[in-house]
Structure 1
Amino acid sequence: MQIYLVQHGKSRPKDQDPDQSLSPEGEKEVRRIAETAGDYRVPVQGILHSGKKRAEQTARIMSGTLNPAISIEAAQGLGPLDDVQAWKDKLEELNHFMLVGHLPFMQRLASLLVNGDQDNQVIKFQNGGIICLEKEQGWHIKWTLMPSID
């Protein structure tokens, strides 16, 4: 079983855009990562996003390249400060789904799954990057695609 965790692409500052849409740089990076994932034929079945504009835009870009069998949709509980514990059991039904959201939520979810402690960071996310988590006997990080290697 695999899931793909994505932090939305870089967004415009709130004082310039109250909805914090993706910035041109953010759009470009998300497209590049989506195309790379497409080249690798990442098998995304569906995409869920937080409902915030920058996450929805990121999800749409990913969907346009990865062509999930199930269309993208907003999901409750993927906000920046939402409870990650609530998603632990939900993931059992979401094989090959992509979740697009925000920090600290994505970072805390990855940490909870991999080491059982949402506050003990296991990986550093980047805007627009993908982290693939795989569950065999337990969860582990299988691979990542990041916009930068800095």
Structure 2
Amino acid sequence: MELYLMQHGQAVAKEEDPEQPLSREGVEAIKASAAAIRRMGLHFDVIIASPKRRSRQTAALVAEAVNYPYSDIVETELVKPMTAPGETLKFLQQYLGEGAVLIAGHLPSLGEIASSLLSDGSKVHLHFENGGLCHLSVPNLPTYEAQLRWSLTAAQLAMLAK
């Protein structure tokens, strides 16, 4: 499986809106990242989002850019911010036969998922930021033998989008 991990776009403050949807800047950044994803020729067999609004919005913007049906986005509690990586990886096992899977998720869970896939016990620290995209090749689940293919920041994706 080719696993893509994307942190949701910048959200509004909880005090402004308790649901914390994407901010105007967050929407624009995700649109730029999504345009880069399209330009790179990436496609996804499965797109997964958490039930949090900013995650669903991020997944929807990427889905729109790559012509993935919005109604097919899988929403699950198992990619929420504090979900244990083992639970998420167990959930992902059902998608092993799929070619490319995108998770539009949150920190710290995205970093924990990547670390669990790349190392047997020691902590691997990968930099994630709003709208960035990390690509891992995952031969099996559970595994500690995933390969980090690349990781791009939102600014790098925006440059690719042009």
Q: What is the TM-score of this pair, normalised by structure 1?
A: 0.90
Return the alpha-carbon distance in structure 2 between the equivalents of residues 135 and 81 of structure 1. 22
Counterpart in the other structure of 1:143: 150
Secondary structure of residue in 2 paired with 1:148: helix
Cα separation, 1, equivalents of 2:88 and 2:135: 16
Q: What's 1:9 paired with?
A: 9
1:113 paired to 2:114? no
Gaps of 5+ in 1: none
2: distance between equivalents of 1:129 and 1:40? 14
Q: How many residues align?
A: 148
Which residue does 1:77 correspond to in 2?
78
RMSD, matched Cα? 1.8
Question: Equivalent of 1:101, from 91, 98, 105?
Answer: 105
TM-score by length of 2: 0.83
- Choose between structure 1 and 2: higher helix proportion: 2
Q: Conserved in 2, the CA contact under 8 Å of 1:114 and 1:122?
A: no
* Structure 2 CA distance for aligned equivalents of residues 24 and 121 of structure 1: 32
- After the TM superposition, which parts of structure 1 deviate over 4 Å for at least 4 consecutive aligned residues? none
Q: CA deviation at 1:130?
A: 1.1
The letter for the 2-side match of 1:72 is I
Gaps of 5+ in 2: 157-162
Closer, same or farther in 2 for the Cα pair 1:65/1:99, shift >3 Å? same
94-103 or 47-56: which moved more? 94-103
After TM superposition, give the deviation of residue 116 of structure 1 in Å. 2.7
